[in-house]
Amino acid sequence: MRTAIAYVSYSGNTEETAELIQQKLYARGIQVDMHRIGIDQPIHPSQYDVLFLGTFTWENGSTPDEVKDFVLEIGYKPDNVAVFGTGDTQFGGDDLFCKAVDKLVTFYESKWGGLKIEQSPRGSQEYVIDNWLKGVLQHARHIA
Ligand SMILES: Cc1cc2nc3c(=O)[nH]c(=O)nc-3n(C[C@H](O)[C@H](O)[C@H](O)COP(=O)(O)O)c2cc1C
């Protein structure tokens, strides 16, 4: 199985989440290509069994411009996109929490619910990542 993790992060929370997902995939013997959105060369989703897409949420629940550009760069809706992200409930409560994750899940009609992490993923939220990843990989194996 081959996977990629494409993500954007300003202050490090989404990057930390991406790195934890990377470690957990490596631990299962799964190949992972890391892609920093807006920095690295374009990637081709069709080369991967799963493309993990990570984003934070910006003002009033918006999706970062870098992610919108990435979506345009891909240019179609691959059926293998699993979305994760970080946010902060202090910015608008549950309604706006990780709204960019919800928007991307809807846009890609993702098979998987989005993973939402409050700020840093370290510590008590790691089990949430584990459970989510288990669900993604079960279904990915099923379709592979
Ligand atoms: C100006 C600003 C607006 C934000 N708006 C939201 C928001 O609407 N919803 C949300 O869940 N988080 C919001 N956040 C919180 C960030 O998404 C959160 O801190 C995230 O973990 C940052 O990711 P990063 O560390 O990968 O850059 C906002 C943060 C800032 C600075």
- Separation in Å, CA 87 to CA 10, 50, 107: 12, 23, 19
Q: pLDDT tens, 2-33? A: 999 999 999 999 999 999 999 999 999 999 99
Predicted confidence at residue 139, as pLDDT, reads: 85
State the residue range of the domain holding 139. 2-143
pLDDT(75) > 60: yes
- Strand pairing partners for 115? 84
Assess whether the C-beta atom of 59 lies below 6 angstroms from ligand 1: yes
Q: Is 35 in the pocket of ligand 1 (CB under 6 A)?
A: no
CATH code, 32: 3.40.50.360
Q: Is the pLDDT of residue 50 over 60?
A: yes
Domain count, the chain: 1
String of DSSP letters for 16-33: HHHHHHHHHHHHTT-EEE
Residues 61-80: what's their mean pLDDT? Answer: 97
Question: pLDDT-derived band of residue 140, with 50, 70 and 90 as boundaries?
Answer: confident
Shortest-distance Cα residue to atom 7 of ligand 1: 61
Determine the residue of 36, 58, 90, 95 to mutate for testing ligand 1's pocket, defined as the one with the most ligand atoms within 8 A of the Cβ atom: 58
What global pTM score does this model have? 0.97
Q: Give the number of other CB atoms < 10 A from CB of residue 139.
A: 14
The residues that bridge with 5 in the sheet, in sequence order, are 34, 52
Q: Which two tokens stand for residue 143?
A: 């379709």
Does the Cβ of 99 fall within 6 Å of ligand 1?
yes
